[in-house]
Amino acid sequence: MKKILTLIFIACLGYACTPGATPPIASQIGESTYTPGRVVWHDLASPDPEASSAFYESVFGWTTVPYGDGNKKVWVFKQGDKPVALMAYYKTENGSGEWIGAISVPSVSEATAKAKTQGAKIVKKAMEVDNRGTISFLQDPQGASISLIKLNNGDPEPGLAEMNTFLGQELWTNDVSQSTNFYKEVVGYSTEEIDNQKVPYTIFKMGDMNCAGMLQSPAPDVRSHWVPYIRVANLDETISKAKNAGAKVLIEPSPDIRNGSVALLMDPTGAPLAVQVYNP
C-alpha cells in the first residue's frame, strides 16, 4: 500500500500558476458574497497542456478554451458555459503536473504574510490578476502546495457540486498537529475530529461550514499534498474512461474506503486526483 500511495506525491514545485492572460473568470463564477475558508478555485500546472486537455475533455466532458498566445497562453476548463478551472504550462523538475486549490481569504496579502511567519515557503507573493482577483501561491511547512485568493466578484455560491466538477479538497499531511496549527493561524479554521472513519480524520471548518478534510499521510517519506476530489455519476465508467485516456489508477475502489465510492487516479501528466460518487 505504501508503495502505491507514494506514487501520489510529486516533487516540490519551483513555480506557480501565474496566468499570462486574463480570461473573465471572476465575473462568471462570483456571487457577490464571500465565504472565507472554502476552496473556491482550482489551477492545473501542466507540463503538457495538450495531453491534459485531451484527458479532462474525454473523462469529464469539459471543454478547453485558450487565452493569449505564445508563452503567455493559458486555458480555461469549462463545463458547459461555466469555468471550472484554469490551466497553465509549467515544467517541474520531474515533469509532473499538479492541481492547486485556492482558499478564499479576506486579505491575501495579510494571510500570505502570516503564512510566511508560520513556516510556509512563498512561491508567488500576493498579486492582482485582471478579471480574477488577488492571489498568492505557497507551500505549507509540510510542502503541500496551495494558493490563497480573493476573487473580484465574490465566491461561487456554496452548494453540492454538480457532476464532473470539484467536490472538495483533502490534505494528506506528514504532521497532523503542525498542519492543524498552520491552517488555523493562516486561514482561521477550527477543526472537528471524525471518529467513524477507518483512519483518524479531521475536518477544517469555518463556523458551521465544512471546508476541507485532512488525514495522516500513509507515505511519510514524501512531502504532504492536497488532493482534489471530482464528483462523478458512475465510478466504474469514470475509471474506464480515465484508463483509456492514459491515467493510472493508484487506489482502486474498496469497500473499506467510503463504501467503495472513491478511486485515486494519476492523470497522464502525473497530477493526482480523486473521483467519488457522492449522493447525500
pLDDT tens digit sequence for 61-111: 999 999 988 777 899 999 999 999 999 998 766 678 999 999 999 999 999
Whole-Å CA distances, 258 to 218, 223, 261, 279: 17, 24, 6, 12
269 found inside a domain: yes
9: pLDDT strictly greater than 60 = no
41 found inside a domain: yes
126: pLDDT strictly greater than 50 = yes
pLDDT level of residue 30 (50, 70, 90 thresholds): confident
Rounded average pLDDT over 25-47: 90
Give the integer Cα–Cα distance in Å for 72 and 103: 24
Burial class of residue 238 in the structure, from the number of CB atoms within 10 Å of its CB (0-12 exposed, 13-18 middle, 19+ buried): buried
The pLDDT score that the predictor gives to residue 94 is 66
pLDDT level of residue 3 (50, 70, 90 thresholds): very low
pLDDT level of residue 13 (50, 70, 90 thresholds): very low
How does pLDDT run across 208-234, given as a tens digit for each residue? 999 999 999 877 776 788 999 999 999
9 found inside a domain: no
The pLDDT score that the predictor gives to residue 1 is 31
8: pLDDT strictly greater than 50 = no
6 found inside a domain: no
How does pLDDT run across 250-276, given as a tens digit for each residue? 999 999 888 889 999 999 999 989 999
Give the integer Cα–Cα distance in Å for 115 and 145: 12
The pLDDT score that the predictor gives to residue 259 is 86
3-state SS of the chain: helix, strand, coil percent to 5? 20, 40, 40
272 found inside a domain: yes
How does pLDDT run across 135-146, given as a tens digit for each residue? 999 999 999 999
Please count the structural domains in the chain.
1
Q: Considering the chain, what is the average pLDDT of its residues?
A: 88
10 found inside a domain: no
13 found inside a domain: no
5 found inside a domain: no
Which pTM does this prediction carry?
A: 0.89
With a pLDDT cut of 90, the percent of the chain lying above it is 71
pLDDT level of residue 2 (50, 70, 90 thresholds): very low
Q: What is the DSSP string of 38-54?
A: SEEEEEEEES-HHHHHH
Give the integer Cα–Cα distance in Å for 152 and 32: 9
Cβ-contact 274, 100 below 8 angstroms: no
17: pLDDT strictly greater than 50 = no
Residue 66: domain span: 21-276
Give the integer Cα–Cα distance in Å for 115 and 185: 8
CATH number at 106 reads: 3.10.180.10
